């Protein structure tokens, strides 16, 4: 995934989606949590909720996963709730929120 994001960055370095995908990659790889958080927050702050881009609810979900991995369930719950505010029917976010609230 990192190679794909790097290749996309070479072709379109100002594409907002790069922040999202780089953040997701870093969360999945469990690398550089500070950079992952920065990338996902930059995406959330810069991108309108547009159907042609990765949904903002998904960016909140990945931030929640990052915080869960850091054993920060309160921060994770905040992000899952923010995602549900944007996408109230998202089953994954409902499950994620329930999981962290049980801890």
For the whole model, what pTM was predicted?
0.88
Please report, for the chain, the start and end positions of each structural domain, with discontinuous segments joined by +. 2-102
CB 96 within 8 A of CB 76: yes
Q: How many residues does the chain have?
A: 103
Coil, strand or helix: which one is 52? coil
Q: Please say whether the structural domain 2-102 has been given the CATH code 1.25.40.10.
A: yes
Residue 2: per-residue pLDDT: 67
Residue 16: per-residue pLDDT: 81
Q: Residue 61 corresponds to which tokens in the numbers above? A: 């979900």
Residue 79 confidence (pLDDT) above 80: yes
Residue 61 confidence (pLDDT) above 70: yes
Phi, psi dihedral angles at 98 (to 5 degrees): -60, -45
Q: Residue 58 corresponds to which tokens in the numbers above? A: 């998904």
End-to-end CA distance of the chain: 31
pLDDT in tens, 5-43: 566 666 566 788 889 999 999 999 999 999 999 999 999
């Amino acid at each position: 995934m990192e190679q794909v994001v790097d290749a996309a960055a070479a072709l379109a370095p100002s594409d907002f989606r790069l922040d999202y995908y780089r953040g997701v990659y870093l969360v999945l790889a469990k690398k550089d949590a500070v950079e992952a958080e920065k990338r996902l927050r930059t995406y959330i702050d810069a991108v309108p909720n547009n159907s042609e881009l990765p949904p903002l609810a998904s960016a909140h979900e990945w931030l929640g996963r990052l915080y869960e991995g850091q054993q920060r369930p309160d921060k994770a719950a905040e992000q899952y709730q923010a995602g549900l505010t944007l996408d109230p029917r998202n089953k994954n976010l409902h499950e994620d929120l329930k999981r962290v609230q049980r801890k």
